Structure 1
Amino acid sequence: MAKQICSEDVSISVSSVRFNTTKLTLKSIDGTLLSSLDRSSKHFDKKQNAYSFDRDPELFRYILNAYRIREVHIPRNVCPMLFKRELQFWKIPSKMIAPCCWKYLYESESNMDDLRVIINEDKDYKMQMKANNQISPEQNGQFPKMAHKEKPLISKERNATKIWMFLEEPASSTAAKVWYYFYIFVVMVSVILYIIWLAPSLRVSRYLSPLIERSIDALTVNKTVYHTLITMYNERIVMAGGTDPHPAMFAVDVFCLIFFISETLVSMCVCPDKKKYFSDGYNLLKIFVCIGMSITFGLEFNKDVLRENVKVAHFMVACRAFNVLRLLLIFRLRKIYNSLHIMLLALRHSLKELLLLLFTFIVLVIIYGCLIFSAEIESDMFPNTQMSMWWAVITMTTIGYGDYYPVSSLGYVVGVVCAINGIIVLSLPIAAIAGTFGNLFARNSDFQKHKQTIKDQENDTFFEQVDVSNI
């Protein structure tokens, strides 16, 4: 009886295209939609005496063929993601996909993952889609409390949004783009000031803080005392503590400080999503740079405190060193120059490869550091394992300062193997990161073309460019 049921003919109508098979064939893959069909199923059509489905009949040929050969083969003339949806509808497990089709399917999935990353980062595209779907910011949840506020507050929120768009989105208006370039200009001026801050030709006698007893002015003190100070410390420290910057240079630095603080405070106040604002690394960088610049600005008026308190002096040096991070504010250009944005995305999504590189590098540094220390145990070249690990870092990165080096035959062998391994270890993860960048860059090119096509259609220029005579 069971054998008779299994050999029973089954008719399946897919969008009015009829397919005939047997129960035995459909039972070859357990747990699927077709294997569980019976006459009590909602898909059974008594009039046609067949199971009816509103699906693509061309794709169903390959689905049915999977039951016959117990393997799923994806046709090359069909989008892999579309075929995957068909597999999900028919409840056919992914393990049935033939190995010859893995590359075709999973490459497409990887491309889709890259595109999702790019689209999620593109605020202009999101806004365009919201506008096309007539979704307001309130409905989208950008301002969740607006629906419960009165009309004056709604107007206030809209003004805040306009200011936010002006500050953060250069594509929103011409004025926003001008502001954007002006911000980059101020960043570059600030970085140039940082570079030339201690140049002797741009330092003048102290004027920012009053000269009290035991105060030192490096430009008015006699040459004997000046050379003594340089011998005790160095010229940079003497210039930093015994002179002040040129008034014009100091004025420009104060302007940059006020500019950065004002821009940061305004953007912080008008930001629609405070949680997202403070979780953004770039915004945190702006805040820390403003704090560092403010501290060094205040200490410029109290140079005698630096001489009397070494800890305060070291703290100021640390703050000035931290202020070099203002150069990273130039990455604001990522919103205009898409390639820079893709490079940052590639680094972010290659975090696993970077951690692997770091972990492997540390392990090899320890190994070769200990090996060279043991190989050169009879020489005085490596006083301890810390210095031997320093040598391993310099050798693996192929820098080779020459401050420490092997002198024995066994040490030479360790040095050669260390250098070769360093090249291999550093190159492998970098190739993976370059591959990620290449994939993201290619997908971003496709996305930008798609955006331009949508824009042309909205401006009614797309169909003008198409030569309909060839269609």
Structure 2
Amino acid sequence: MAKVHCISNRGIKHELSDQLLRRIRETTSDAADHILATIKNDSKCMDFQFNRHTTSTNNIFDYLNGGKLHMPEDICPQKFNEELEFWGIPETELESCCFTRYVSYFDNLQVLSVLEDGECKRNTMFEIVATMAGGNGWRSVQARAWSVMEYPTSSFLAKVFLYISNAMVLLSLFLLVSSTHPLFRRKLTKDEWFDYFTSEEEELFDDYWFNDTYHDASVVAILRTCISNYL
């Protein structure tokens, strides 16, 4: 009678065929060491108890039996990474539908780590600046000016500086946008038009200027194109 090897994960039993055992042995993983060390050649059934994530274990056994590797929806990618390391399976074996979510998680984790490091350095620098500002001399003046410009919550003067700087930015944006409105445009005089041209262009188009004012400055670009084509 052929030997049947079984392992039990949280009460769910999995039969291990010879092919599956061979694939587990090839991974040289922690799971392979634990399972193979428990198998007895003279036993017809081996019941190996272990406690891993249930859905992940099912998916991993499907993969080891020749299927495709998918990451369950009910597991954190970091926890699934631990499962892959336990079974000795490279993360590149994940199908593309799951690999994108898996990689995105670790990318976001890395970004959060960088932000936390930056916040930590910022807090450390704030403490250094606050200590310097409490002293005397030129270094103290520099530290106070720095705290006003870099740390809006450090003092009342820093808040005033923040509000004024934000107001100037908003005013600049308003002037930039409003300058494109027809209400703020005016006609160019003949002398102002000629400021756009060289002396050769003025002689060539001198007869064109039959009126002292014109409406659209974009005509300059059209005229320059005509001049370049003419020359």
TM-score, normalised on structure 2? 0.49
Rg larger in structure: 2
TM-score, normalised on structure 1? 0.27
More strand by share: 2
